[in-house]
Chains A and B, each alone.
Chain A
Amino acid sequence: MHEVKQRPACHRAEDLVTYLYGEASEADVLDFGMHLKQCDACRSEFAVFNQVHDSILTWRNEALGVAFDPRAVAIDSAVESSRFVRHERRLSALAALREFFTVSPLWLRGATAFAALLLCALGTMMIVRFSQKPVEVSQQGTPERRYTQQEVKAEVDRAVQKTRDEIARQTTSPSIPNREKPQPAHAQLATNQQPRTEKSRGLSRQERQQLAADLRLTNPAEEEEMQLALPEQDQQRPNQ
């Protein structure tokens, strides 16, 4: 390297290089073309540099292949780039999620997974609930009135009172033991637990049947019998 003269043979060395590689403007090409005709040094160098250039190109093509075109690489890259942008947009959420799981610590990953599971479970429960509700409604058909405990108590008291009145009207039997004082429903229920002999001591068969019908303790056949027996009583009974 040191053996090479550092000074150019002509002051237009840079122009020579620009001309050699075809980067000179039209005006410069004309101008340097004129100079080449006059300058032996430039002409000689231009010829030799062309040979060097060809030698390097031969080596390059031999090594990288004749089809190698660096400019084509750039064009390919531009096309791939536009493709990449679309691809990247499509996968951005996925990439972000992947990146999140890669970067975040173990506890955060665990917490996220737990939260996701919880959310899934809640979602499933909601779906199940909403999907079952209409089925229940359709199965029930006509809605049945639901009574509270107090309403039931009041209803029972009313039935007992009615029965008592009825019995008082119809029965010829003068004494009905322990019937003046109305019993509360729970007390009556308690009497149901007692032996049959004790419970039915003061009531006739008809009374018992009436009471059972009022409390809906009889089967439909018996009830029908009761209806036949007491048609006017049924009309007064509250619709249950």
Chain B
Amino acid sequence: MTDDVFAAGFMDDYFAECDEHLAIVRRLLLELSAAGFGEPGLRPTVDQLFRSFHSIKGISGMVGLRDAEALAHHLESYLRLLRDRDARPTEIGINALVACVDALERVIAARRDAQPPPAVDDVVEQLEHASTLAPAGAELAAADAAAPDRQRRVTFVPSPTLLARGVNVDTVRARLREVGTIVDAAPKIVGGAIIFEFVFAGAIDEATIASWRDDGIVVAEAPPPAGAPLEPAADSATPVGPSHVVRVSLTRLDDLMRMIGELVISRARLDDALTHVETHVPPVEWRAVQENVQVIERQLRDLREGVMRVRLVPVGELLRRVPFVVRDLTRDSGKRVRLDLRGQDTEIDKFLIERMMDPVLHLVRNAVSHAFETADQRVAAGKPPEGTLTLAASSIGDAVVLEIADDGRGIDEAAVVARARTLALDVPDPPLDRALLLDLICRPGFSTREETDRASGRGVGMAVVKTTLEDLNGRMSVETAAGAGTRFVVELPLTLAIADALIAHVGDRMFAVPQANVREVIELDPAALRRIERHEVAPFRGGALPVLRLSDVFALTPRPGRVLHAFVIGAGADVVGIAVDRISGQREIVVRSLDDSLIKVPGVTGATDLGDGRAVLILDLAALVRRQAASLRGITEAAS
């Protein structure tokens, strides 16, 4: 096997590990740049940064990514310099670090996306220049050596039996850290056996000490040996008391959610079974049964919400990169932008954070690069020289609302209309309907500026923002006024897993349609439908509603009754009706995703179990309409 082939098998591991290191690095850089003068306890931060760059350098070299290896080497050298001089980085140094880390990320992303790597000479030069500067005033100080609590010696003797129960040196360390600080940790040889000795500062009660003995952990009194702490408590430089926080793996949470999903199904089955026996039960007893069923339903909802809440993380995590991006783009641009972050504690599902990171950053970049005027221009327009970029998060019922607002120049509608017309789109004169405006700027290839974005290493355009939101069942709207500013409002559902759905029948098949994107449900008289070229339309509220039959889209044989039922989706000019034989009611469904590429088809977003073990497909009507429109376009274009 050649070296390249060998390395190729580890690329996924490599990218995942780099992601982890880079997330840690970003957090640490933020700590460094936020730390004030004379603030003690920066030594662990510098050490950790050094180690992260060292690790990235090592694995980059192993997989043959020379660019990343070299960059990481420069970063490591700069950190080593700081460490050796016991100095903290200057403002210039921090800027250089941030620029280099950004470049490193782009180099790694370029390899992952099979793109040419970006040039990095200028950021390396920046870092080297920073290295030549005199160190900043205050020196790095280690955290206080003396711990206020009594110190004790804790011994741990490892064994295979303990290991089988999940008790090993790592879990013992975690346990100790939860209740205090580990001042020292070292292996010892006692008569040929290897044991571990910790010097520990913190409060533990007798009951805990007794229970730990079963796990091979012995706590004794010990005079504190001199020395600085070897291991500061996990995330801060000062000793903490007992922790009220528990770390839970996401897999365990997914399991919990799955179990709750199954409870939902069982309850639905119970409901069904009960309707069959209703006629056999005397009314008084029946009422009692009903009441109990309702109590269970309420408790189930509460339980579901409770578990969902565990998956939630503060939205601040989504926004942690924004200050860097703003800082990067405003430097040397003559623009001054103040960042106003609100509602950072608003909670959002961890899964959504990962998916929304790029779209949010894209909107921020757009605002800073294009919406904000320079300080001079703003003053000339009677505005304060500093622009304000607001990122506000709030939760409303079952949804999270994210606002990205600027007080810049607003969207140039005339330019949008002109561009649309050069693309042979038929649009009215400004002012434009806001939904139409948003639709236009989110069209693939609409903005020529996307080319520059791609050159800077980012492939995210407004089109991708829009599709990501659609994938997540979210919505976006825009408000803008010339000279005053622009506001994007993004609404995301809090959970993807359980939804309210309408059950549709076509022939002998059933489908589930999530209620969230259905505007209304109507009855149609088949006799009233008219054919206009390739489309059918129905009279609706004084106008003509285009109608698409699901039986046509899926090539199924319908079994219609006297009337057809239809889902009305879309808004404004995009309203469409999807006709089915019958809509039989609303159910709460557990959404199971269809992950495999063999079954990823447009318009089908998942499957659910309605209680009998059969899979019922969940439809995305909007996607079906889009696909139908696209194929029709293809047909008419081919025919012309």
Query: Do they bind each other?
Result: no
Residues of A participating in the B interface, judged by any CB pair closer than 8 Å: none
